[in-house]
Amino acid sequence: MKSPQEIAVSSMSNAQKRMSVLIIAVMFFVFGFVTWINAILIPYFKLSFDLNHFQSYLVAFAFYIAYLLMSLPSGYLLKRFGFKTGMMTGFFVMAVGAFLFVPAGAIRSYPLFLLGLFTLGMGLSVLQTAVNPYVTILGEKERAAQRFSIMGICNKLAGILAPILFAAIILKPEDREFFESIESLTSSEKDLALNGLLQRVMIPYAIVGCVLIALGTLVKLSPLPEINTDEESESVMVGPSANAKRSILDFPHLVLGSVAIFFHVGSQVIAVDSIINYAQHHGLTFYEAKTFPSYTLTATIVGYLLGIFLIPRYLTQLTALRFCTCLGLLLSIGILVLSQNVNFLGYQIDISVWLLVLMGFANSMIWAGVWPLAMSDLGKFLKIGASLLVMALCGNAITPMIYGYFADKVGLREAYLVLLPCYAYLMYYAFYGFKLRSWKRN
């Protein structure tokens, strides 16, 4: 018996399906642009406000903690008003966050910048809750990892472009001399220069706010179908105890999967958002290190492309998940124990920086592997289950703060020790945790 989602999708024309996938791809591109620009905002604000590492990672905390606070309300919002109205609301809330950068830059207020980032995260949590279920149901379940890979490419391509575009708009050629001689400036000269740097973000974010309003309006008017999960057939809740399920906490593979998402996104953000500071730690200037997040995200795209080609023809998405979790653990150990300068792509820098770049490849197929496994067999709990997984994106907020704390206390390299438990748990879920359908032992 088909579920309401399957019936809704099967009733769509091919043109509607293609348009739906295109709309979702554009949304993932927007998510990536807004999200991964934090990789350059962290060192940018660290310099502009003279912050330590812990304080600078409040950028990630303010942005992603909104997922923890808004994910479950997002599920109820979608249930009450529908997917399309909910997504339009999410875009409008994000626009408010972008517009807050204008007064923040004018008065050089770090708390107001953080409020803007938090508001952006609130809107994005609504959009993430709505969009990810579409990726799961718009096609065969066995090819869900492929579709997530395609959306991931859109997300990470935006992540590659965002720091480069931000740097091209905000940074000027003469800034190179400023970054190299900043310590020799007087206090008044430094304040004047930093005020000028911060004010440059005002116009770009005002434009972003206008674009977000336009996108929200277009989504509301688009042919993207509504998906009704309230009348989900119980037949999709397989297993001998399916009818006994009363809440999302009765699905161990979902709860454990949300923890896996927490550790995955946290480790991924650490790899991207910390690499500029880590490259500077090994001798590069900010002007030189600003492109390294793009290298990490390029490695992620390579992983996505391999996933599209290999899955499911030559490789199952579960095998890909297991390989990536194991590789992530090995690279984490390598960052901690390997230290040798290498000359690559014109940079003479420690090999551990390039291992951190390769973390992008290791992270590429983890989300695509965990999400379908965690969302499997949820039936009428699909929306709330998606909300729980999106809520786990607060790992992006908490894990970098832990890294930043240890970076200040014990050193930037040693702080990467926080990655080890993340990948150890991901390996547990990939090899065992996803199989659990009951909290009781058989």
The pLDDT-based confidence of 242 (bands split at 50, 70, 90) is very low
First to last CA, the chain: 29
Statement: residue 423 has pLDDT above 90 = yes
Q: Which of 126-140, 304-318, 323-337 has the lowest mean pLDDT?
A: 126-140
With cut-offs at 50, 70 and 90, classify the pLDDT of residue 170.
Answer: confident
Interatomic CA distance for residues 434 and 389, integer angstroms: 14
In terms of average pLDDT, the best of 85-99, 134-148, 177-191, 198-212 is: 85-99
Name residue 229's amino acid. Answer: T
- From CA 271, how far away is CA 35, in angstroms rounded? 14
Interval 377-394 mean pLDDT = 78
CA 94 to chain centre: 15
Token duo for residue 206: 């005002």
Residue 324 has what pLDDT? 95
Q: Report the pLDDT value the prediction gives residue 236, as an integer from 0 to 100.
A: 40
Is residue 130 within 8 Å of residue 77, measured between CB atoms? no
Distance between CA 143 and CA 137 in Å, rounded? 10
Domain 12-225+246-435: CATH architecture, name and number where available: Up-down Bundle (1.20)
Q: What is the pTM of this model?
A: 0.76
Report the pLDDT value the prediction gives residue 181, as an integer from 0 to 100.
Answer: 60
Mean pLDDT score, 203-208: 89
Higher pLDDT, 224 or 394: 394
Length of the chain: 442
Q: Which residue has the higher pLDDT, 248 or 97?
A: 97
Instruction: Band the pLDDT of 240: cuts 50, 70, 90.
Output: very low
Q: Do residues 423 and 331 lie in contact, with contact meaning Cβ atoms separated by under 8 Å?
A: no
Preceding omega of 372 cis (within 30 degrees of 0): no
Least Cα distance to 324 among 296, 300, 308 occurs for: 300
Question: How many CB atoms neighbour CB 53 within 10 A?
Answer: 22
CA geometry: angle 359, 386, 316, nearest 5 deg = 50
d(CA 307, CA 250): 31
Task: Please check whether residue 77 is in contact with residue 93, taking contact to mean a CB–CB distance below 8 angstroms.
Answer: no
Q: Is the pLDDT of residue 334 over 60?
A: yes
The closest alpha carbon to 144, from 13, 390, 320, 384, belongs to 320
Q: What string of H, E and C letters represents the secondary structure of 111-175?
A: HHHHHHHHHHHHHHHHHHHHHHHHHHHCCCHHHHHHHHHHHHHHHHHHHHHHHHHHHHHHCCCCH
Q: How confident is the model at residue 238 (pLDDT cuts 50, 70, 90)?
A: very low
Q: Which two tokens stand for residue 111?
A: 């708390």
Q: pLDDT above 70 covers what percent of the chain?
A: 82
Confidence of residue 210 (pLDDT cuts 50, 70, 90): very high
Using only C-alpha atoms, what is the Rg of the chain? Answer: 22
Return the SS3 of 392.
helix
pLDDT band of residue 409 (cuts 50, 70, 90) is: very high
Least confident piece of the model among 17-31, 92-106, 182-196, 269-283: 182-196
Work out the percent of the chain whose per-residue pLDDT is above 90: 30
- Of 370, 254, 263, 255, nearest to 318 by C-alpha is 370
